[in-house]
Amino acid sequence: MTSELSMRYAVRLWTRRHSGTWRESDETELQRWLAASGEHREAYDKVARGWNLAGSLQPAAPMAPAARRGSSVKRAVLAAAIVLLTVAVGLPLWRTGYRWWNGGQVQLATLKGQPRTFALDDGTTVMLDADSQATANIGARRRSVSLNHGEALFNVKHDAARPFEVVTPAGRVQDLGTQFDVEDLESATRVSVIEGRVGVLTPRGQALLVAGQTGGFDNSGDLLPTRPFKADTARWSDGQRHFDHELLVDVLERVARYHAVKFVFTDPRLRDLRVSGTFRIGDLALFLRTLAAALPVEPRYRTPGQIEIAAVTPSGTRNPH
């Protein structure tokens, strides 16, 4: 459901846009706000419908230019008032329409070490990685999934009349008829396309990714470089994962979805080591041994729930720093 705060801000933006004082910087602010959240766009659409309703109240006779300018401002204010009245008084009726248009919210969640596949009402399947959360809305005219945490592999049932998108805090991924993977990491959202193509949109840019490409955006909305990837990097349902020149910090974030542990670094520079190869991340002891053999690091338990990643000196001893 659209929050009152989003509605009030949408009314404010719409009124300014039709008051005759709209500037280029205002348009930039509007587009950034719309791209940041599906809820923002829903709020703005509500205001648009209120404006259309106000537009049906036409004057009986032509007016002078000055009067028309005054009427334009009044009309914008009237539209805002209609929207606010709809929210305040017609909430039960609006909820019914909202559920028909956007669908009811369905919470998807998995436990540590337990990925799971969900079937949505439209025929789309979502394979949710371990320790991940998402919220799905499948309605008559709109389909949206908010990835709150973790990773999800989507196999979308294409429907041109009902666009499908995946929303994260910094941007959106629009399906154009495909199978794709979206991962919410600590510093970025990674998007990999297995079949078809997707559009990636943020307040700071947009990109088209096709099958065999990976990209995405960081937490500021800046687009990540597009590069090729192997399809098997998105096949993780069996607990085995292939990494292709991935940051160590991102690899360990994925491993932590399968085990009740937290990884800490003795040296922040170790976070940027690159990892390549196939690992069985469901077996923590085996993974740690394989990691130590592949990189100049030594994993060591600090407590039962915390693993320290330390550098190994050329002599093979642990770096005390």
The pLDDT score that the predictor gives to residue 63 is 45
The pLDDT score that the predictor gives to residue 58 is 41
pLDDT digits (tens, 9 = 90+) for 278-307: 888 989 999 999 999 999 999 999 998 999
The pLDDT score that the predictor gives to residue 158 is 82
The pLDDT score that the predictor gives to residue 5 is 67
Strand partners, 143: 138, 164
In the chain the first and final C-alpha atoms are separated, in Å, by 50
pLDDT band at 97 (very low <50, low <70, confident <90, very high): very low
211 vs 238: CA distance, rounded Å: 22
Q: What is the DSSP letter of 37?
A: -
The pLDDT score that the predictor gives to residue 305 is 93
Strands 205-210 and 227-228: unpaired
Q: What share of the chain is helix, strand, coil (3-state, %, to 5)?
A: 35, 35, 30
Please tell me the pTM assigned to this model. 0.65
Strand partners, 216: 190
The pLDDT score that the predictor gives to residue 75 is 52
Q: Which two tokens stand for residue 279?
A: 């690992």
pLDDT digits (tens, 9 = 90+) for 196-247: 999 999 999 999 999 999 999 999 999 999 999 877 666 665 667 888 889 9
CB 14 within 8 A of CB 80: yes
Range of lowest pLDDT (7-11, 87-91, 207-211, 298-302): 87-91
Domains and CATH numbers, the chain: 4-100 (no CATH), 104-230 (2.60.120.1440), 238-311 (3.55.50.30)
299 vs 307: CA distance, rounded Å: 6
pLDDT digits (tens, 9 = 90+) for 99-131: 545 567 899 999 999 999 999 988 999 999 999
pLDDT digits (tens, 9 = 90+) for 140-188: 778 999 999 999 999 998 888 888 999 998 899 999 878 999 999 988 9
CB 59 within 8 A of CB 71: yes
Range of lowest pLDDT (102-111, 246-255, 256-265): 102-111
